[in-house]
Chain A
Amino acid sequence: MDITNNKIGEVIESSSGGFTAQCYELYEPPPLGALLKVNYNSGHIYGVVCFAGTHSLEPGRRIIARGEDVDTEEAIYQQNPQIKKLLTTDFQVSITGYMEEDKIFHYLPPKAVPLHRFVYYCLNEEVKAFTQSLDFFRLLVDAPLPVSCDEIIAACIRYTGQAYSDPLAFRVRAGRELATLLGGDTYRLNSILTRLRL
């Protein structure tokens, strides 16, 4: 997961609990569940990708089907080069904590992310530092996410686990954390755990 050029987008909408960023490359959003960061004061705000989508840059302009007379999907873009300039890929990030003066906090930062902040992937070392404690699951379990919370938590565990030399051990630790967090809600716990099977 070491990504050299790890700047992927820019914040275009922001609120206390999360932000929306526009990708620099069409169809190149970060994976669901990825841990991302933006610069914040002397540290960073961290969050997990909870949604991505591609749509028209202008709200009033509908996308129409164009491929009736061509053989491949690529040919549509080849023959209509303007399309790529009129579309944009966005992703939404649910904030899971922040770091200030080298201390990590697994709750929401006091202020929302300013617009136009660059969004970066976290390097393996940062992922490991942020997931030393998994308290931030609490923020995801109850977050009003655009897709199922369980789906995002499972994706996050699968993604961040890759930063560890033993991803399975990380999944086990994450599973235990969830068991504590969800208490008697075994239905929900199982729903997440089934998404963690290798």
Chain B
Amino acid sequence: VSLDLEQVAAQIAEMAETLEARRADRESRLNFALNTMQALPDDIDKLKKKIDESKTTWLVAGLTGSITSCRQPVPCPEDNIVLATDGSQIDVDRHYSTRCFLLNIGVVRLDYGENADARLSSIPLLYFKDDDMVISSDNGRQQIIEGPLLGLKRTVEECRVLTAEGKQLPATSPALLLVDGSLILWGIVGQAYPDYVIQKLLVDGFIKQLDELKELSARRKLALASYVSFPRSTDVVNAIRIAICPFEIVDCDKNCPAANGHRECDAVDSLLDRELFDRLLSPGERSALFISRSSVVGKYYGDNEIRFFYVKIDGEIARVEVPLWVAVSTELTDFVHTMVLQQCRKGMGYPVSLAEAHEMAVVTEVDRNRFWSTVEQYYSGDKMVLSLSEKQKSKRMRWI
């Protein structure tokens, strides 16, 4: 039975009306936020200190310079390389007796300039051995890899492939290594995984790759960046909250308990960073660099702590994250900025290398079904029994 759209339509109409009614209010909040930003003194040390000392329930961007500064892109180097990876997965299907999962990592290398060339490939990795399917602690505890944890493992694998391929690049051209989404593995803290999972996946996996890339970057011009399209982050809006907070020491729980919605800082409530920078930046410009003060970064990232800037692409504001070793070099940050912009222009609004890496990696519903039927074929060829849950059988044969 298909979705009863007639019933939904009335609810959609109500939703649209509510959003429309909020628009004027939102506009005045936005103007207030922009005025507050522009009225901030050039000397930001006081606000920096206030942010550093704050105790908030929300994530606040750390400042590296004037919050409103904008920067034009530098000219793009004629010869350059962009390397991008993206991944997709076939998760463990608990309706099959076979326990396995598949990661498919798309890799794209685009060489621009005199020797223009492209290499597009995908690396499918099937995990089925007992040791592959879990993350184990030294004392024998195990966490099964599936669902969100598989997503995290995929991110680590994307980065591992990116690092391995990055090492193969010729040093003659500057290179941008690009991944989709955030460099901050938010999911690993959100799910309250045991420490050994964080150690294996994040510290020994992801961060180790970042360290290797940092080493590589010391030997040649190479930058790592991640690209977040249509970001929903509020780090900078929250920095404005701190600026307008009337208390000298910001401590939400102590100063404003149970006052949600009635605090001074709620004047910028529900705004997004991208709305601010859509007004502040001209097409092609990037914002100042900000520091991610997320706890996962502070606790685990070390030399790879994450900085980010916003950039105005023709159609939207994107968030670009870079590790500290890129951010400390204006030359590398400028390179990331101009390259991301070029990539978006070539990709009709989204980095072409990431779009192609996604195309190489994507596992469609058809692919998924073909994968499972291939598994079944191999099993039946060897006269092995591949049990299927009754629920799965029922979905396959939709009887009346």
Interface residues of A (CB under 8 A from B): 58, 61, 64, 77-86
Contact = CB atoms under 8 A, between A and B. Distances in A.
Contacts of A85: 118-120
A82 B110 contact: yes
Interface in B84-131: 108, 110-112, 116-120
A64 B348 CA distance: 10
A77 B116 contact: yes
Given A79-B116, A82-B356, A86-B356, 5 more contacts: A80-B352, A81-B117, A84-B118, A85-B118, A85-B120
Contact of B116 (A61, A78, A86): A78
19 contacts: A58-B359, A61-B359, A64-B348, A77-B116, A78-B116, A79-B112, A79-B116, A79-B346, A80-B346, A80-B352, A81-B110, A81-B117, A81-B118, A82-B108, A82-B110, A83-B118, A84-B118, A85-B119, A85-B120
Contacts of A80: 346, 352
Contacts of B119: 85
9 tightest Cβ-Cβ pairs between the two chains A and B: A81-B118, A82-B118, A81-B116, A85-B118, A78-B116, A85-B120, A81-B117, A82-B356, A81-B110
Interface string B206-218: 0000000000000
Interface string B122-142: 000000000000000000000
A155 B336 CA distance: 53
Contacts of B118: 81-85
Interface of B is mostly: strand
Contacts of B359: 58, 61
Nearest to B114: A78
Interface residues of B, number: 14
A79 B82 CA distance: 12
Interface in B38-65: none
Contacts of B348: 64
B62 to A, nearest CB: 37
A79 B111 CA distance: 9
Contacts of B112: 79, 81
Interface of B: 108, 110-112, 116-120, 346, 348, 352, 356, 359
B367 to A, nearest CB: 13
A83 B117 CA distance: 10
Contacts of A61: 359
Contacts of A82: 108, 110, 118, 120, 352, 356
B108 to A, nearest CB: 7
Nearest to A61: B359
A86 B112 CA distance: 16
A85 B117 CA distance: 9
A61 B348 CA distance: 14
The residue among B108, B116, B348, B352 with the most chain A CB atoms within 10 A of its own CB is B116
A51 to B, nearest CB: 27
Nearest to A82: B118
A20 B228 CA distance: 42
A73 B119 CA distance: 21
B72 to A, nearest CB: 19
Contacts of B356: 82, 86
Contacts of B352: 80, 82
A64 B355 CA distance: 15
A184 B359 CA distance: 56
Contacts of A83: 118
A62 to B, nearest CB: 12
A86 B348 CA distance: 16
Nearest to B119: A85
Contacts of A58: 359
A78 B114 CA distance: 8
A140 B316 CA distance: 56
A63 to B, nearest CB: 13
Nearest to B116: A81
Contacts of A79: 112, 116, 346
A61 B119 CA distance: 18
Nearest to B356: A82
A80 B345 CA distance: 11
Contacts of A81: 110-112, 116-118
B362 to A, nearest CB: 10
Nearest to B353: A82
